[in-house]
Amino acid sequence: MSHSRITVRNLKIGATTDSGRRVEIIKGVSFDIAPGEIVALIGESGSGKTTIALSLMGHTRSGCFIEEGNIHLGDAEITSMSERARASLRGTKVSYVPQSAAAAFNPSKRIMDQVIEITKIHKLMPRDKAEEKAVELFKALALPHYDTIGSRYPHQVSGGQLQRLSAAMALIGDPDLVIFDEPTTALDVTTQIEVLRAFKSVMANGGISGVYVSHDLAVVAQVADRIIVLKGGVIQEEGTAEQILHNPTHSYTKELLSAFEPVLHEAIVSPTAAKHTAPILEVRNLFAGYGPVHNGEPSAKILKDVNLVLPRGRNLGVIGESGSGKSTLARAISGILPPYRGEVLIDGYEMPHALKSRSKEELRRSQIVFQLADTALNPAHSIGAILGRPLTFYHGMKGAERDARVVELLDMVRLPANLRHRLPGELSGGQKQRINLARALAADPDLILCDEITSALDTVVAAAIIDLLKELQRELDLSYMFISHDLSTVEAICDDVLVMYKGEVVEALPARDMSSKAEHPYSKLLISSIPQLDTGWLSSLEQDPDLVAEFALR
Amino acid sequence: MTTRTTFLSALPTPKRLGYSFNLTGRIGLAVILFWAFIAIFGPLLAPYPAGEIVDWDYFGPMSDKFWLGTDYLGRDILSRILMGTRYTVGISLAAVFISVAGGVILGMIAAVTGGWFDMVLSRLLDAFNGIPSLLFGLVTVAAVGSSIPVLVLTLAAIYLPGAYRFARALSVNVNTMDFITVARARGETTVYLIVREIFPNILGPVLADLGVRFVFIVLVLSGLSFLGLGVQPPNADWGALVRENIEGLSFGAPAVVFPSIAIATLTISVNLFIDNLPTKIRDRSE
């Protein structure tokens, strides 16, 4: 293995917790990376993938320290180096592409100055040479206006462009190894494709080794030669991308893969559907927007003429990219953002637009669950108090009756009863999202608006939440409006799908055959941009460039 | 033995409830409690009547008869400090509670309601904030005349806009959180939003602010008294004691040193206590 560029042997990284306890985060990890090879580290949050990636630069987050083992980069041993020697390696031998390029760029400096900063710090080349090289990299990364883009400020380029510019920043010092830390997680799918393509081509041309950290198997499959599956700081499985995807040996890898495989949703026949002829939710010609109101119309109009029907006991998916107005739709239906025109009917009754003019009973029937489980729970209230409040508010429950119902609700979302004495801060992400669901259920609603409720969760945890939603639907005769940008989740739970683009519904489709029946060009583009679990998907993907130019928000 | 230990370990002591705090905070609390005790029982403990001239010498040194010396008229300083505690601690406490309670309530209402109410109230209090505090105190007290209710209300009015700004800024941040949106969507009233959803999440910083504001109020009260507008003779708060005896400074008389030390110990210990509050209260929003 003398040809490896990076060798990691028996790496152990520890950390001191807030209470002063010492824990081991990485428990003896060994792997090699050959020159020109891209290795993906994959696992859920807390698996140690970012910690390992950072340690390759000799860096640990505060409170963490390398306890044992060694890391060789070429002939240099990073683990035994002084901090000063490591600093001289960073940018020239190893470099880093962060998850959020928007947060990594200084908004008050021009892009070019920031991209060539590494050459200045390490005195690699004169300024004009460096700028020349940067423009070459911009070109290689398929950036538009590559010769002038450097003179712009970070807010003047799009998110996908900024992410590619941060890759240019990482590549300018001709590193041997580039670390990508979830670089496309924050991007829309249509944007992601272009960024992945650009990364792949520059890496292949330069013969640079790469470490790609991600939780998304499908993305990793496009980029990586080899995949290392991590869980709890231990390597579960290591193999070529092909082998991991098609022939996994470890049970955890299989679990990850199965969580990715969409299980097509079977429509449930609602027991009460026959009694109610009116759909549970109907929206007619809905307009909504933000900002100061003039002549009854807000200055920033988001939703334009939205129509939808959701029959009782069925589930409606709403898909679209960021800025398409899907969250605004949920807010307009629930009355949090009063629509300025149009009608919202729940179970055939027209809802007043504003929250204030809706009665308690009208509010009770539709509940909303948000994406970020932690900010949706008041950190100062115990779980019991959080779940108890809607019971008191809507149903007037008190004392022992309420406590009993809280325990019942916790049982419904498969959480132990003693959790009710805890504070939200003491729960995991998945548990918090279950509590959010339980709070919505406490109102005994007919309709639950789910706004990206699984997007912030790990794949396996998200799959469990989806299963729970299905189970609850069978038991409680619920209907869901399910907003997501993740098509496989939508396929797994929805009967019908709406595709939204710039505040308008462009197409309504049955979820089962989304990909085959999509007709609107934007729906086609969106659906074809979802990464598939296939190593050849990206290279064989062909998209109409005119379509891309018209619709992709790159 | 085992039953006894399990029984003991089940007792809800502050430590087990997560309300324990460190030594510095405890020292601060001890000093505060000491002054609170003096404020209530001080006059009973005083060796001499506070207003009576007991020594023919002025600016007398510390002695067996007069533990902390005598003032410019030959009155016992210990007795006068014990008497002054009631004024300093009482007036400042009343004023700080009125200003912080008023400021926090208005601030939370402004943050939750928003719109024109928020704008009008904010601009009004900003304008009020523009008036220099000591000057405002001077004018009011000179116009209305000095009495304890006037002092309390004036001091409270001076510090209310600051407390309002602080509480409003915190509440605006909390108000954008999803759990507030959830509560609104449930149909909760403004009162519920303020009391149950926002207040618990701004309590920690508000308490810290209360401590700082208390110190400011003690100092402004002392300043007013120093200018002769505070508590009127023969009674005196600590600030007035410093003013009365300021000429003794050149003699190094204990009459001016000890009231100053009293002010310093109270203000510093309040800060020590507030800064070292139990983590559970201080960092609730985390």
Unique residue bearing structure tokens 């989740």: A489
Compute the distance between CA of residue B253 and CA of residue B55 in angstroms, rounded to an integer: 15
Degrees, nearest 5: CA angle B108-B91-B81:
145
Which residues of chain A are within 8 Å of residue B185 when distances are taken between CB atoms?
A: 334-336, 355, 363, 367-368
CA distances from B255 to B52, B242, B260 (A): 15, 8, 9
Lowest mean pLDDT segment, chosen from A31-45, A203-217, A343-357, A538-552: A538-552
Among A260, A289, A309, give the residue marking a domain's end: A260
Q: Give start and end residues of each alpha helix (H) in B176-245.
A: 178-186, 190-192, 199-226, 238-244
Model confidence band, residue A189 (pLDDT cutoffs 50, 70, 90): confident
Nearest to A336 among B185, B200, B203 (CB): B185
Position A435 in a domain: no
CB contact under 8 A, B285 and A368: no
Tokens of residue A168, six digits:
């240019």
The interface pTM score, or ipTM, of the predicted complex is 0.77
Position A14 in a domain: yes
Compute the distance between CA of residue A517 and CA of residue A527 in angstroms, rounded to an integer: 11
Domains along the sequence of chain B with CATH: 36-282 (1.10.3720.10)
CB contact under 8 A, B284 and A379: yes
Position A414 in a domain: no
Say if residue A246 is in the same domain as residue A308.
Answer: no
Please state, for a pLDDT cut of 90, what percent of chain A lies above it: 24
Distance to chain A for B183, nearest Cα, Å: 9
Say if residue A169 is in the same domain as residue A219.
Answer: yes
CB contact under 8 A, B181 and A443: no
Compute the distance between CA of residue A481 and CA of residue A368 in angstroms, rounded to an integer: 9
Compute the distance between CA of residue A324 and CA of residue A303 in angstroms, rounded to an integer: 9
Q: Give pLDDT, residue B153.
A: 92
Q: Give pLDDT, residue B233.
A: 75
Position A492 in a domain: yes
Is the minimum CB–CB distance between A433 and chain B shorter than 8 Å? no
CB contact under 8 A, B185 and A379: no
Nearest to B184 among A355, A378, A394 (CB): A355
Rounded to 5 degrees, what are φ and ψ at A532?
Answer: -105, 155
CB contact under 8 A, A378 and B187: no
Say if residue A296 is in the same domain as residue A220.
Answer: no
pLDDT digits (tens, 9 = 90+) for A126-160: 999 999 999 999 988 888 888 888 899 988 888 88
Among A204, A229, A260, give the residue marking a domain's end: A260
Return the closest-CA partner of residue A339 out of A297, A295, A370, A307: A297
Terminal-residue alpha carbon distance, chain B: 40
Residue type, A174: D
Provide the CATH number for the domain around residue A10: 3.40.50.300
Say if residue A295 is in the same domain as residue A198.
Answer: no
Residue A386 has pLDDT above 90, yes or no: yes
Say if residue A137 is in the same domain as residue A197.
Answer: yes
DSSP3 helix / strand / coil % (chain A, rounded to 5): 40, 25, 35
Model confidence band, residue A245 (pLDDT cutoffs 50, 70, 90): confident
Rg, chain B, Cα only: 23
Distance to chain B for A465, nearest Cα, Å: 20
Q: How many residues does chain A have?
A: 554
Model confidence band, residue A332 (pLDDT cutoffs 50, 70, 90): very high
Compute the distance between CA of residue B135 and CA of residue A441 in angstroms, rounded to an integer: 58
Tokens of residue B196, six digits:
């149950």
Q: A66: helix, coil or strand? A: strand
Rounded to 5 degrees, what are φ and ψ at B212?
Answer: -65, -45
What angle do the packed helices A251-260 and A459-476 form, to 10 degrees? Answer: 60
Distance to chain A for B127, nearest Cα, Å: 26
Distance to chain A for B13, nearest Cα, Å: 18
Which residues of chain B are within 8 Å of residue A355 when distances are taken between CB atoms?
A: 184-185, 187
Say if residue A307 is in the same domain as residue A362.
Answer: yes
Model confidence band, residue A1 (pLDDT cutoffs 50, 70, 90): very low
Say if residue A363 is in the same domain as residue A474.
Answer: yes
CA closest to B204 among chain A residues: A380
CB A255 within 8 A of CB A43: no
CA distances from A197 to A211, A219, B88 (A): 16, 11, 72
pLDDT digits (tens, 9 = 90+) for A441-495: 999 999 999 998 888 788 788 888 898 999 999 888 899 999 988 887 888 889 9
CA closest to A335 among chain B residues: B185
Position A479 in a domain: yes
Return the closest-CA partner of residue A197 out of A550, A458, A545: A545
Compute the distance between CA of residue B168 and CA of residue A350 in angstroms, rounded to an integer: 37
Q: A455 lies in which domain range?
A: 281-378+445-519
User: Each residue of A187-207: b (16+ CB within 10 Å) or e?
Assistant: bbbbbbbbbbbbbbebbeebe
Unique residue bearing structure tokens 């002092």: B151
Structural domain count, chain A: 2
Return the closest-CA partner of residue B82 out of B270, B235, B273, B243: B235
Determine which of A331, A360, A378, A451 to mutate to test the interface with B (most B C-beta atoms within 10 Å).
A378
CB contact under 8 A, A372 and B197: no
Number of H helices, E strands in chain A: 22, 20
Q: Give pLDDT, residue B286.
A: 39
Q: How many residues does chain B have?
A: 286
CB contact under 8 A, A358 and B187: yes
Which residues of chain A are within 8 Å of residue B174 when distances are taken between CB atoms?
A: none
Position A545 in a domain: no
Say if residue A370 is in the same domain as residue A456.
Answer: yes
Say if residue A293 is in the same domain as residue A236.
Answer: no
CA closest to A394 among chain B residues: B186
Q: Give pLDDT, residue B285.
A: 42
Compute the distance between CA of residue B151 and CA of residue B121 in angstroms, rounded to an integer: 24
Number of H helices, E strands in chain B: 12, 0
Is the minimum CB–CB distance between A102 and chain B shorter than 8 Å? no
Model confidence band, residue A552 (pLDDT cutoffs 50, 70, 90): low
CB contact under 8 A, A378 and B184: no
Is the minimum CB–CB distance between A388 and chain B shorter than 8 Å? no
CB contact under 8 A, A363 and B286: no
Is the minimum CB–CB distance between A89 and chain B shorter than 8 Å? no
Question: What is the pTM assigned to this prediction?
Answer: 0.79
Say if residue A74 is in the same domain as residue A140.
Answer: yes
Which residues of chain A are within 8 Å of residue B197 when distances are taken between CB atoms?
A: 378
CA closest to A371 among chain B residues: B178
Nearest to A376 among B178, B188, B200 (CB): B178
Q: With a cut of 50, list the residues of chain B below it in pLDDT.
A: 1-3, 5-6, 284-286
Say if residue A17 is in the same domain as residue A69.
Answer: yes
Residue A389 has pLDDT above 90, yes or no: yes
CA closest to A358 among chain B residues: B187
CA closest to B183 among chain A residues: A390
Is the minimum CB–CB distance between A18 and chain B shorter than 8 Å? no
Position A38 in a domain: yes
Residue A2 has pLDDT above 50, yes or no: no
Nearest to A334 among B185, B197, B203 (CB): B185
CB contact under 8 A, A375 and B187: no
Residue A388 has pLDDT above 90, yes or no: yes
Say if residue A35 is in the same domain as residue A115.
Answer: yes
CB contact under 8 A, B185 and A390: no
Compute the distance between CA of residue A298 and CA of residue A289 in angstroms, rounded to an integer: 6
CA closest to B203 among chain A residues: A380
Q: A74: helix, coil or strand? A: coil
Element (H, E) at A253: helix A251-260
